[in-house]
């Protein structure tokens, strides 16, 4: 019942409430002796210049009721060694000749690399939106698009749900001369071949090309007989081949026909990025060379007469 009373024995309260009655007993502080390793065999111990620190004195408090903490004398004094008079490190005495003994130090080349940041005008755009901000890239895109239209690469037809639409994108490259000066700005429209389905818009993709061993054989024969060597490159080679499959591609970005914005491009000729583009180009070139009285041999295409031999290697 209230008021509550405790039945446990209570400790007697101290008569004095001074600070000396509730302070804990003093803590004895002892210093741990330090272990100093012995000096090396090549250096004498009397050359070390050591200093012994003085033990700080504890200033007693002003209150007389507070017990004093008397520090105990240290059992061992620490020695602090300075390196002012230390001798030079001893070199190894083994007979092996090392690079360090001969003062040979290989520089770290990876820390001496330097680079030069390109200016904004030298950077190649990654999207068509970036390219349209530069008049040079806009002109390159217009030239590529007009070349595709003149070549009859596609025709616009209405889209339907049964068509597999292949996407396309613009690729930008800066063509440079041998002295690193800018030759021209090249923009190329590339189809997204990973949108194609086998058996739907492409079948065979293998394109036979010459092997490096055959090239070396032809070069050795030409050198032995003193023949003339010529090398040529066909501009927009893949754009010259005719497609036999039905391939539908979306209109080029930033060049969508305003009269038929929902139409798609039905490709009549191959375009870069299609899976069958290399094979279509090979068959187109082979047909032309056979019509030009070349013979398709196991090695290369060659034309021979009583006085003239032409060997054409495609790679």
**Tell me: the pLDDT tens digits for 273-301?**
999 999 999 889 889 888 988 887 765 55
Q: Does some domain include residue 300?
A: yes
Q: Does some domain include residue 83?
A: no
User: Does pLDDT of 180 surpass 80?
Assistant: yes
Q: Does some domain include residue 63?
A: no
Q: Does some domain include residue 192?
A: yes
Q: Does some domain include residue 5?
A: no
285 three-state secondary structure: helix
Q: Does some domain include residue 215?
A: yes
Q: Taking CA 94 as the corner, what is the angle to CA 88 and CA 98, rounded to the nearest 5 degrees?
A: 80
Which residues make beta-bridge pairs with 166?
249
User: Does pLDDT of 78 surpass 70?
Assistant: no
Domain with 155, as residue range(s), is 123-312
Give the pLDDT score at 5. 56
Counting the structural domains of the chain, the total is: 1
Q: Is 151 exposed, middle or buried (0-12, 13-18, 19+ CB in 10 A)?
A: middle
pLDDT in tens, 218-252: 889 889 988 888 888 887 888 888 998 999 999 99
H or E segment to which residue 128 belongs: helix 128-131
Q: Does some domain include residue 196?
A: yes
pLDDT tier, 157 (very low <50, low <70, confident <90, very high otherwise): very high
Q: Does some domain include residue 270?
A: yes
pLDDT tier, 46 (very low <50, low <70, confident <90, very high otherwise): very low
Task: Work out whether the CA dihedral 308, 309, 314, 315 comes out positive or negative.
Answer: negative
């Amino acid at each position: 019942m209230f008021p509550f009373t405790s039945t446990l024995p209570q400790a007697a309260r101290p008569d004095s409430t001074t600070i000396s009655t509730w302070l804990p007993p003093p803590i004895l502080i002892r210093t741990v002796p330090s272990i100093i390793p012995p000096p090396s065999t090549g250096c004498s111990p009397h050359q070390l210049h050591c200093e012994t620190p003085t033990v700080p004195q504890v200033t007693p408090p002003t209150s007389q009721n507070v017990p004093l903490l008397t520090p105990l004398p240290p059992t061992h004094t620490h020695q602090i060694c300075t390196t002012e008079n230390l001798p030079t490190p001893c070199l190894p005495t083994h007979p092996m000749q090392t690079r360090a003994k001969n003062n040979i130090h290989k520089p770290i080349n990876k820390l001496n690399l330097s680079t030069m940041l390109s200016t904004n005008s030298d950077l190649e755009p990654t999207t068509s939106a970036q390219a349209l901000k530069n008049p040079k890239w806009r002109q390159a895109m217009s030239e590529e698009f007009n070349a595709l239209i003149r070549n009859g690469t596609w025709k616009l037809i209405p889209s339907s749900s049964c068509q597999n639409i292949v996407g396309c994108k613009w690729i930008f490259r800066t063509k440079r001369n041998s002295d690193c000066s800018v030759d021209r700005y090249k923009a190329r429209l590339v189809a997204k071949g990973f949108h194609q389905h086998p058996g739907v818009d492409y079948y065979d993709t293998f394109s036979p090309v010459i092997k490096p061993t055959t090239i070396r054989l032809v070069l050795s024969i030409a050198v032995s007989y003193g023949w003339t060597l010529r090398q040529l490159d066909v501009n927009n080679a893949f754009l010259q081949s005719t497609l036999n499959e039905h391939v539908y591609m979306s209109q080029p970005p930033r060049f969508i026909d305003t009269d038929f914005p929902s139409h798609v491009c039905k490709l009549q000729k191959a375009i870069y990025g299609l899976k069958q583009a290399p094979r279509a180009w090979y068959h187109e070139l082979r047909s032309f060379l056979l019509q030009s009285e070349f013979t398709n041999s196991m090695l290369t295409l060659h034309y021979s007469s009583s006085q003239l031999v032409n060997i054409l290697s495609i790679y």
